[in-house]
Structure 1
Amino acid sequence: MTGLLLAALLLGVGATVFMDVVALLQKRLLGIPALNYALVGRWLGHIPGGTLIHKSIGNSSKIRGERILGWIAHYGIGMVFAVTFLALAGQDWLARPTLIPALAFGVTTVLAPFLVLQPGMGAGVAARKTPQPNTARLRSLFAHFSFGLGLWLAGFACSLALQIN
């Protein structure tokens, strides 16, 4: 079980790194801004004080260490998603990673920002309160699609590195 948990954590970090590389390429090549994880940290930092839903997270008071908190949360969530994925897909998937389950799971994870993060940050369910909701939705969907692709690629790396049979 310890080997499977280690593989899941490595899978989560690998998939999240891939997602971030794709976001960086989108920013550099297409001028598409990446999510500001400091705002995620700000949102999380306000929760202990009782504020879960903001009118606009950008107008909410800054939280000390919000950028690092946001990035830690980003990678922590990636690892939790990977553990969940492997619990559903099983160790057999890790021995022979296949694309469709990883992509399907990655796309499914878009429900987290649609139903939790975006409403909490003031953007509404599935970004409905943003100036261009469909653009925001497609960007979120593409980011989570790239996470799924990253799961698949990281699955190959993990299976080779950890010699999983």
Structure 2
Amino acid sequence: MGGVSELIAKAIPIGIGATLLFDIWQQVLRFALKGPAPSWKLPGRWFGHMSRLTFVHPEGVAKSAPLPGEDAIGWIMHYVVGISFAVALLAIWGTAWASQPTFGPALIVGLATVGLGWFVMQPCMGNGIACNRAPNPMKARALSIIAHIVFAIGLYGTALLLA
């Protein structure tokens, strides 16, 4: 096995593992901070509207028309995105990284996911650049950074488990 097939075969479990750790972290925060359960409904709505060529929701995706199955779409895309970041990591650092993982590349990818969230996803969903329209932007930013570092730990840890 080699090339693209090896990259995909390694990226899928690494991306799933990293995303699963991210989700576990979200549940820990939910109980620690007594907050609401994480929901992927609105990201699902955002992704779902892309099929209708609507990518930006200036008034906020919550005000956009609901779509059937948006919660499922959100969860599926959450894992697809996690796997995509694992693909990016292995495409940049090579599939050999998965056999002898180091934390640096995983951390770089994890922090890059923050940037994409802040400068692509959040603005397109109507939350402004770097969550500046959130009720508490600094808290939202801090939680985002921490969660994506947890994702990086998940990339590294899953690769270690599989190596």
Output the TM-score relative to the length of structure 2. Answer: 0.90
Percent same amino acid at aligned positions?
Answer: 37
Cα distance 1:95–1:150, how it changes in 2: closer, same or farther (>3 A)? same
Q: Do structure 1's residue 106 and structure 2's residue 102 form an aligned pair?
A: no
**Which portions of structure 1, spanning 4 or more consecutive aligned residues, are displaced by more than 3 angstroms?**
32-35
Matched to 1:31, the amino acid is K
- Offset at 1:49? 2.5
Give the TM-score normalised by the residue count of structure 1.
Answer: 0.89
Tell me how far apart the structure 1 counterparts of residues 27 and 55 of structure 2 sit (CA, whole Å).
29
User: Helix, strand or coil for the counterpart of 2:19?
Assistant: helix
CA root-mean-square deviation: 1.5
1:80 is the counterpart of 2:84: yes
Matched, 1:119 2:93: no
Equivalent residue for 1:5, pick from 8, 32, 43: 8
Residue 101 of structure 2 contacts residue 160 of structure 2 at CA under 8 Å; is this kept in 1?
Answer: yes
Point out where structure 1 has 5 or more consecutive residues left out of the alignment. Answer: 160-165
Structure 2: tracts of 5 or more residues without a match:
none
Counterparts of residues 1-165 of structure 1 (less than 5 Å) = 1=2, 2-33=5-36, 35-54=38-57, 55-159=59-163
User: Aligned pair in 2 of structure 1 residues 32, 90: CA closer, same or farther (>3 Å)?
Assistant: farther
Aligned residues: 159
1:52 is displaced (CA, Å) by: 1.8
Which whole-Å CA distance do the structure 2 matches of 1:110 and 1:23 have between them?
15
- Pair 92,73 (structure 1): closer, same or farther in 2 beyond 3 Å: same
